[in-house]
Structure 1
Amino acid sequence: MPPSTPSGGRIAVLTVSALAVLIAPPLYLLLDLAVVGRLGGNELAALGVGTLVLSVISTQLTFLSYGTTARSARRFGAGNRSGAISEGVQASWIALGVGVALVAVMYPLAPVVMRVLVGTGSADSQQVVADGAGWLRIAMFGVPLILLSMAGNGWMRGVQDTRRPVVYVVVGLSVAAVLVVGLTHGVGPFPRMGLPGSAVANLVGQGLTGLLFAIRVVRAVRRSDTPRIAPDRRVIGAQLVMARDLVLRSLSFQVCFLSAAAVAARFGVHAVAAHQVVLQLWEFMSLFLDSLAIAAQSLVGAALGAGAVGSAVGTARRVTVASVAAAGAAAAVFALGAALIPRLFTSDPAILDAIETPWWFFVAMLPIAGVVFALDGVLLGAGDARFLRTATLAAALGGFLPLIWLSLVFDWGLAGIWSGLVVFMVLRLVAVAHRVRSGHWRRTGMQT
């Protein structure tokens, strides 16, 4: 049974664990890009597009971690550890089913997808299409195991097992890091495979992590009071309802940011480069703030499962204060480093000049994001995914997307695009703050 009032230390442990798991894959991707980049521009482009496809797929399926955390945490808080483990088992079945279906669909369609994304207007682009399709066809076989990792992360966060997920992810990506260097360039005892070596390394690393999570859930079932590893239609059905809401919410993010990139590109090379630099910093801060939100999910879900409304409210307050403090400190760093930090990414005077506009929108938005991410985590922990879906869609359709496209029509440039992002965050802030204050999320006991 979790403590009635989680300490700052407990929140910190959950946050650091979540951050380590969230940040490890992007760090591995940087290594992968650096290793493949030495093969040549075509190979680097092929890898970039291939990893983009995998990223879009995994982003749309994050319900396997976030939804499972909320449901398993509530059962854990109610003292039903076996039920919490069962949520992990059923999420794992969904992961395998969806993963196998994606492999079956994407393997034959890989060349088509690459042609749509890259085009075939030149000999170089045709080579990128061929190389990218080959990379994707190998790497896609790791998708079921990537999804297993998501499900495993979800239920283990729910039962507040903070150490093992970090170990599993680090072990898998460490093996991949060795293999990507060895197989891509033929270092040491490894054959030189070129770009396919990167795909094999990705497949083995992700596969190892997924296998470790699968072994863990099987062992947990065998040690639990109700050892059931077969699919349970009732639990799977309930998880898929939450999945629907979270997928729609995630899709709204994707549409907004893809639209922003498309409009920024129409303002010129320097504008889109500046936009992407600041956007990468925003995505990094999103990972950091999301780790605090994951801590809120786990603790709030457990508290409500135990019927401890006071503990849930206290956790919401503590996590929000911590998130705002962290975001405010980051905003101060980025404000003070406005003249220096962008130069770490580029020395082009035109890009540096263009960065000034989105930079200050980014700085101003961080404290707002601190509140929004924390309260998102609170509401996800409470299982309030339907509300979050509706609020996010409304903010996207009513704020972000109109300003993005009006920026193109009226030539507002990056100021218009980033104004849209700020409005998006403000609308979400109003929605989640009102929801939390209303108390409608404080539903205690078990969920169906």
Structure 2
Amino acid sequence: MSQAPAPPRPGRRHDREIVSLAVPAFGALVAEPLFVMADSAIIGHLGTPQLAGLGIAAALLMTAVNVFVFLAYATTAAVARRVGAGDLPAAIRQGMDGIWLALLLGAAAVAVALPAAPWLVGLLGASGTSAPYAVTYLRISALGIPAMLVVLAATGVLRGLQNTRTPLHIAVGGFTANAALNALLVYGAGLGIAGSAWGTVIAQCGMAAAYLTVVVRGARRHGASLRPDAAGIRACARAGAPLLVRTLSLRAILVIATAVAARLGDAEVAAHQIVLTLWSLLAFALDAIAIAGQAITGRYLGAGDTAGARAACRRMVQWGVASGVVLGLLLVLARPLLLPLFTADEAVHGLLLPALLVVALVQPVSGVVFVLDGVLMGAGDGPYLAWAMLATLAVFAPLALAVPALGGGLTALWWVMGLMMAVRLVTLGLRAASGRWLVTGAVRG
């Protein structure tokens, strides 16, 4: 008599869920910096002032988009809860509220960016030769901000529906279209930096249209309303406000770190920028696991399964530690190959080596931090995340600002960055252990 196959162990079931969500999410995350890289590669051949103008305008645009990333985070958690509760029409309706909020915020951002473009460019210290190019690029590309924010919100909808493959496909299509349009408009049509901006706007609008097509089809299939609902939009804004505070606090930490590095010297700030670039690249890999954490946690809590949420959290923490160890080792092994890619300056090389070692050592801690951040976002625990990040900023700022005064260098600054991650580990770990985030139901009360 044959025996029925044994059911998969919970750990393996969670592994399949994590991999199926995290791997496509990582691909979609990487597509974002590729947009900027493609623009830089094409504009760089026009001249240094044009490239400098692009750099300034892109920094302003990326800051604006990163500030509104809560549109993706809050929408993922809210939609996933309703999926867990088995109410797909309400899940899609919740997602539409997030998309309407994105459109409203995008329109407001355009209304500010267009007249303020020269002032914003000047605020970043653009030279007289690069400023006109920066203003041109910023004013044109600002027209695509509503589409960019719709992409964020719609990405959150699909993640909440446990679908990270469609965002990957749309991101790849958007990157391909952006590169082709930039080459065509910059060189073929002779529009210069304006052509690059228009190419990016068209690509972003195309991505937004693709997302909306998918979401609208889902809404019609499940009978969900597409009309804006004032109460639902206000609820999305309330859920996103704490995550906005969290994001602004994190951005403040990164700005302070760069400002301190600039006070240390030219070689130090150059080395810091390289370290920060590599640190951000590693963060994409860890953030992919955090995105899986958002979607899985929200679904379990929406279904009222606190035991499943705890088990998934434990498994993802293990993934975070293992991923951090692997990424840290890869960074150590790749250091001799990475340094020549960025600069030939031996002085910068000397500063980079010890700083990168610190980053490598901190990666296992970072892995756990990213996972717990994602789990608590998926649980809708935004207010705690806001207060925890404010507390982290309060610890980090005086220590970082003291580095130059105490004669410390770039390595000391990155040890303070490592301490910042340790503080986040403590605050998030205590919350996860307390179980107070385990609030069940289709809507977090």
Is this a same-fold pair by TM over 0.5?
Answer: yes
Partner of residue 122, structure 1 = none
Residue 384 of structure 1 is matched in structure 2 by: 381
In structure 2, the residue matched to 1:173 is 175
SS at match of 1:7: helix
Partner of 1:128: 130
Q: Deviations over 1:168-194 (max 9, x none)?
A: 2222221111011121122xxxx1111
What is the CA–CA distance in structure 2 between the aligned matches of 1:333 and 1:92, rounded to whole Å?
Answer: 39
Amino acid at match of 1:388: L
1:417 to partner: Cα distance: 1.6
SS in 2 for 1:337: helix
How far apart are the structure 2 equivalents of 1:7 and 1:378?
Answer: 14
Provide the C-alpha distance between the structure 2 equivalents of 1:161 and 1:336, rounded to a whole number of angstroms: 34
Residue type matched to 2:14 in 1? S
Aligned residue number for residue 369 of structure 1: 366
**Structure 1 residue 308: Cα displacement:** 1.1
Unaligned runs of 5+ in 1: 120-124
Cα separation, 1, equivalents of 2:111 and 2:392: 35
Alpha-carbon distance, 1:409 to partner? 2.0
The 2-side partners of 1:52 and 1:243 are apart by 23
TM-score (norm 1): 0.94
Is 2:297–2:378's contact at 8 Å kept on the other side of the alignment?
yes
Determine if the alignment matches structure 1 residue 117 to structure 2 residue 119.
no
Q: Give a deviation string over 1:128-167, Cα, whole Å, max 9, x none.
A: 1111111111100100000010111001100112322122
Indicate whether 1:214 and 2:212 are aligned: yes
- CA displacement, residues 266-315 of structure 1 (integer Å, 9 cap, x when unaligned): 21111111111111110011111001000011011001100111111111
SS of equivalent residue, structure 1 residue 339: helix
Find the residue that maps to 1:127 and give its secondary structure.
Answer: coil
Alpha-carbon distance in structure 2 between the residues aligned to 1:135 and 1:83: 40
| Structure 2 unmatched ranges of 5 or more | 1-8
Query: Is residue 288 of structure 2 the alignment partner of residue 296 of structure 1?
Result: no
Q: Which secondary structure does the structure 1 equivalent of 2:264 belong to? A: coil
Between the aligned partners of 1:202 and 1:340, the Cα distance in structure 2 is: 32
Aligned-partner residue type, residue 316 of structure 2: V
Measure how far apart 1:436 and its partner are.
0.8
Q: Distance in 1 between matches of 2:10 and 2:416?
A: 40
TM-score, normalising length: structure 2: 0.95
Matched, 1:410 2:443: no
Tell me, yes or no, if the aligned pair for 1:401 and 1:420 is still in contact at 8 Å: no
The residue correspondences of 1:274-289 to structure 2 (distance < 5 A) are: 274-289=271-286
Decide whether the 8 Å contact of 1:70 with 1:380 is kept in 2: yes
In 2, Cα distance between equivalents of 1:131 and 1:30: 17
Q: Secondary structure at the match of 1:264?
A: helix
Alignment partner, residue 194 of structure 1: 192
Change (3 A) 1:403 1:415: farther
Deviations 1:316-341 (A, max 9, x none): 11111112111101111222333333
Q: What is the aligned-residue identity percentage?
A: 36
SS in 1 for 2:335: coil
- For the aligned residue pairs, the C-alpha RMSD in angstroms reads 1.4
Give the direction of change, closer, same or farther, for the CA distance of 1:132–1:396 in structure 2 (3 Å limit).
same
Aligned partners of 1:28 and 1:173 also within 8 Å? yes
* Corresponding residue for residue 354 of structure 2: 357
- The Cα shift of 1:357 comes to 2.9
The one-letter code matched in structure 1 to 2:118 is: P
Distance 1:209 1:32 in 2: 17
Q: Distance in 1 between matches of 2:212 and 2:221?
A: 14
C-alpha displacement at 1:62, in angstroms? 0.5
What is the rounded CA distance, in whole Å, between the counterparts of 1:416 and 1:333 in structure 2? 22
How many residues are paired up?
A: 435
Shifted more, 298-307 versus 413-422: the winner is 413-422
Whole-angstrom CA distance in 1 between matches of 2:136 and 2:129 = 11
Distance 1:339 1:172, change over 3 A: closer
- The separation in 2 between residues aligned to 1:10 and 1:164, in whole angstroms, is 16
